[in-house]
Amino acid sequence: MNPSIESEDLAVRMRAAISLAWSLLAKKVGGGLIAINKEASLQLQFGYVLQQLLPLITFHTSEKFEVELETGKEVGQYRNEIDVLFTGTSDAHKHCIAVEMKCYRTVASSGGKRGATDIFMKDVYEDLAVLEGYVECGHANEGVALVMNDMERLVRPTDKTAKCWHYDISHGATFGPVVLDTPIGGKDVSITLKNRYQLEWRQYGPFWFLEVQGHT
């Protein structure tokens, strides 16, 4: 077991719990025990698994943990909803981790074939920018992006000449700080990332899972 999950540091323990919950969920999805068809179900199932870990990571009577889904927060002139907000408090400390999630399935929940992989790739970058915004505004102490997809060519592409690869989400990709404005889907884009990122995908069954956090 990752020793961080046993840390006396509340923040370290919380971050480790997110990694453990994501790993457990990924293995269950990859093994066919849990069906995920869209982002909403991914959020719900992740929140449920994380919730089950809370009694296990509570080491002191003063500690309280809370998992909230779709929590509205103001970021500049916009109001966004944090997919998952994980809050821990003790007598001496409070720590908040914002989690943004993305899910891409080649077959949509309606049963039809899904396109717009370029929008999905751009949206992953937008989530990273949004997480940076939550931290800058004080809504969270740190942010984590969790991404799932079932398209190997997004993870291990044979060609990156298309403009969508300006938003590279392939295994091993590194980027940031960076400003991106390549239009996607006929719409203007403006994304600023101040942190440094490295993407490392893991495969379970027919699915790929990513956990990424920016570093200054």
Centre a 10 Å sphere on the Cβ of residue 91 and count the other Cβ atoms it contains: 8
149 touches 203 (CB < 8 A):
no
Structure pTM? Answer: 0.94
Centre a 10 Å sphere on the Cβ of residue 30 and count the other Cβ atoms it contains: 18
**pLDDT tens per residue across span 105-141:** 887 666 666 668 999 999 999 999 999 999 999 999 9
**pLDDT tens per residue across span 3-14:** 799 999 999 999
Nearest to 67 by CA among 103, 37, 43: 43
| Residue ranges making up the domain that contains 187 | 3-212
The domain total for the chain is: 1
